[in-house]
Amino acid sequence: MKPEGPLKLVGEVRDLQIIDSDGVHCGIADDVECRGAPGKELVLNALLVGPGAYQHRLPKWAYALITFLFGDRLVKVPWSEVSHVTGHITLKNPGASYGLVQTERRFEAIVKKVPFA
Amino acid sequence: MSNILEITLGIMTAMGGFVDVSELVFTAQAGAKFLYALIWVIVLGTIIIMVFGEMSGRVAAIAKQPVFNLMRQRLGLKFGILVLIAATIVNLITCAAEIGGIAIVLQLGVGIPYRLAACLATIGLILVVWLLPFKAIERIFGLLGLFMISFMVSAAALHPPWNEVVSGLVPQIPAHVSGAELLTFGYFIVAIISAVVFPYETYFYSSGAVEEHWSKKDLAINRVTTIVGFALGSLLAISILINAAVLFAPRHIDPQMVGTPALQVAVPFGTTGLILALLGMFFAIAGAAIETCLCCAYGVSQFFGWQWGRYQPPSAAPRFTLFWLATFVIANLIVLTGIDPLNLVEYAVVSSIIVIPFSYLPLLLIANDRKYMGSQVNGQYANILGIGSYAIVVIAAIAAVPLYLLSSGGQQ
């Protein structure tokens, strides 16, 4: 599926795994952002990635639990950066260029200190 | 030739990895309490795990989606997160039960104290998962779990009444079972189905298929492994039940300890038999401990879209790595509280059957979605088997807690 083709936003984009151009898992399309105005075309603007996007999708207690455990980061990936959509969303560039793998890199530095990591 | 080798290894791995601590406990108790009357339940559970195992492997190979990706996508964030929490707790309890089981086997085999054995086992398991890639872990523990074949040899050597064994394949409620014992019988039906169909098996299998980059060409291996491998594995579970019926039932022994099934091989084959049985139990349970622990990390990583898998060094999937490390540590701490591993096994079995329907529903849905599966979408027979199996696990899930409470955990 091409990003400019017909897509069901809830069924075929939201909650899909995002993979960057290097094949690295960069999170989930936790929500989508659209832009438009009354009488104008509604355009898919960006993918919202990170626990910060759960605010309007989860009950308060669950949102509090998730953000307590995993933080409330929210990264916007422009829809124009999506290469194609299949069982997952593939990006045109490495995830780091969108700020997507920062947490992973932080933990990587910790794990790398252990021998044979 | 390499395909034949691959299939053979796959079958042997599935067979050796089939039995875990819950099957050891419940099939031995089932044989001791109800002789051969519950063999059909093992067969039924095996058919269910074959159906969903094959489906999860096929979905992983074609749609490249492991179970928790599907769960998030098909159940939605709100409901999916509840299932994720429940599945993670179930896997953690199961992992603790497996570590407790290893500790008991080490205690029996080497004579070291239980808590020290649990700590040593946990350290050993952490080192294995840290140092070895996925395929090596799967193969080593699956193949060494084949020491469990000693239980099959023992079943043949004990000369059970084969006509009664065969009649156990027919679904039945024995005529002499009534009243409170009927509740216990019902509880054992649910517990055995749960023990055979443990959700971690599907999570692990489908994650493994994604880790090994399965594609359409691996579908034959998937089918043969799940059907032949699991069928042979279930023969091990049936052997444990048969041995218990021959050895324990006439002596009114209720195998209440995780280590008791080892005696099934020790009676006909002496010390050698005992050593083989303990080795088989050790590797089978250790393999299951690794699988359950990794499944905790697979689940959370897949649900939140983190980098995951043991096909890469630990530092390449750091959050996944820290999560499985934490799981091992917490599971060990649970064991160190002194809680009886048998209770852990019971909690794991009862809680896992409740999680199973929510894990299998997204699988069933996507396996029927032609958009993702193309020509490999579920056919008529796969759907009949899938929906039938799903109905059985739903009924078992609804009945699990009432039967557990009413039968006092099968002790009536």
Q: What is the DSSP string of A12-68?
A: HTTTPEEE-TTS-EEEE--EEEEE--TTS--EEEEEEESGGGGTTTS-HHHHHHHHH
Nearest one of B186, B263, B156 to B30, comparing CA atoms: B186
Of B204, B169, B226, B234, the C-alpha closest to B51 is: B226
Does the beta carbon of B313 lie under 8 angstroms from any beta carbon of chain A? yes
Beta-carbon separation of B318 and A107 below 8 A: yes
Higher pLDDT, B279 or A39: B279
Whole-number pLDDT of residue A104 = 87
Instruction: Identify the sign of the CA torsion B95, B44, B144, B142.
Output: negative
| Residues of chain B with C-beta less than 8 angstroms from the C-beta of A103 | 319
The gap from C-alpha A27 to its chain's centroid, in whole angstroms, comes to 5
Contact at CB, A24 and B307, closer than 8 angstroms: yes
Interface contact flag, A117 B314, Cβ < 8 Å: yes
Is the pLDDT at A1 greater than 70? The verdict is no
ipTM: 0.90
CATH number for the region A9-111 comes to 2.30.30.240
Q: Are A58 and A39 in contact (CB under 8 A)?
A: no
- Which residues in chain B land under pLDDT 50? none
CB-based contact (8 Å) between A69 and chain B?
A: no
pLDDT confidence bin for A101, thresholds 50/70/90: confident
Q: How many CA atoms lie within 13 A of B265 on its CB side?
A: 24
Q: Is residue A2's pLDDT more than 80?
A: no
Inter-chain touch A104–B319, beta carbons under 8 Å: yes
Whole-prediction pTM value? 0.91
Top pLDDT among B125 and A2 is at: B125
Q: What pLDDT is attached to residue B203?
A: 87
- The pLDDT value recorded for residue B362 is 87
A76 - beta bridge partners?
A: A48
Question: Are B77 and A58 within 8 A, CB to CB?
Answer: yes
Q: Is B374 on the interface with A (CB under 8 A)?
A: no
Nearest by CB to A111, from B65, B306, B322: name it.
B322
Structural domains present in chain B: 2-406 (1.20.1740.10)
